[in-house]
Amino acid sequence: MQTPTESKASPKKSNVAKLTIIAMLSAVGVVLQYLEFSVPFVPAFLKLDLSDIPELIGAFLLGPVGGVIICLVRNLVHLLVSQSAFIGELSNFLLGAVFAIVAGLFYKAHKTKKGALIACLLGAVCMAAVSVPSNYFIIYPVYAQLFGGMETILGLYKAILPSADTLLKALLIFNVPFTLVKGLLCAAVTMLIYKPLSRLFTQMNAAMQRHRG
């Protein structure tokens, strides 16, 4: 299936098409990042959103670098309304970038429907796995410095499950399943909408070439 980046456009026109797609998907990602909500059985500060969908689509359309750029742009925009001293956006970017890179690289080598499905699943699993070291060594230590210490954070976990009395336990019991479910939801939606969207972007690119020609 031909995508906007595989058409016989001049380099200049191709770059314009790529930038247009990045801008559009980044804008959608920003909107989705605002639409976050709490879920049962996890601490209230873990909010679920589906903002990884645009970067996953971007990784399929433009390659992993395109997906990472979309993830970066939407998090930079979200910094304007950050309620986490920018740490939440850093975590979101790190995990979203892993999702886009893993899925994008696999799909680049296996451009089939089955390849897309496996790419989505691999990306979701890797994102969940990376959430442990990224949170343990980077995100939560910074949160602890800014928001009352590690015991305060662990208290939010222990209020739900008293045995979650260490950071590693809390991450494995709560954060890994939470992140995996988020990735799988984004993967499921992406699988439903990617093919029609790819056709739409291809048509849009063709129209831009005719207009600029």
pLDDT per residue over 18-34, tens digit each? 899 999 999 999 999 99
Is 6 among the domain residues? no
Run of H or E including 208: helix 176-212
Q: Is the pLDDT assigned to residue 1 strictly greater than 70?
A: no
Q: Is residue 7 part of a domain?
A: no
Answer yes or no: is 94 within a domain: yes
The verdict on residue 178 lying in a domain is yes
The answer, yes or no, to whether residue 209 has pLDDT greater than 90, is no
- The reply to whether 3 falls in a domain is no
Q: Quick: pLDDT tens for 131-190.
A: 999 999 999 999 999 888 999 999 999 999 999 999 999 999 999 999 999 999 999 999
> Would the pLDDT of 65 be above 60?
yes
Nearest Cα to Cα of residue 148 among 49, 48, 45, 78: 45
Which domain covers residue 68, as residue numbers?
12-35+44-212
The arithmetic mean of pLDDT across residues 84-102, rounded, is: 95
Structural domain tally of the chain? 1
Would 21 be classed as within a structural domain?
Answer: yes
Predicted confidence (pLDDT) at residue 213 exceeds the cutoff of 80: no
CATH of the domain at 81: 1.10.1760.20
> In the prediction, which pLDDT does 131 show?
98
Q: What is the mean pLDDT of the chain?
A: 91
Residues present in the chain in total: 213
Q: Please report whether residue 151 resides in a domain.
A: yes
- For residue 7, pLDDT over 60 is answered with no
- What CA–CA distance (Å, rounded) separates 9 from 70? 22
pLDDT at 202: 77
User: What residues does 47 pair with on adjacent strands?
Assistant: 38
In a domain? residue 83: yes
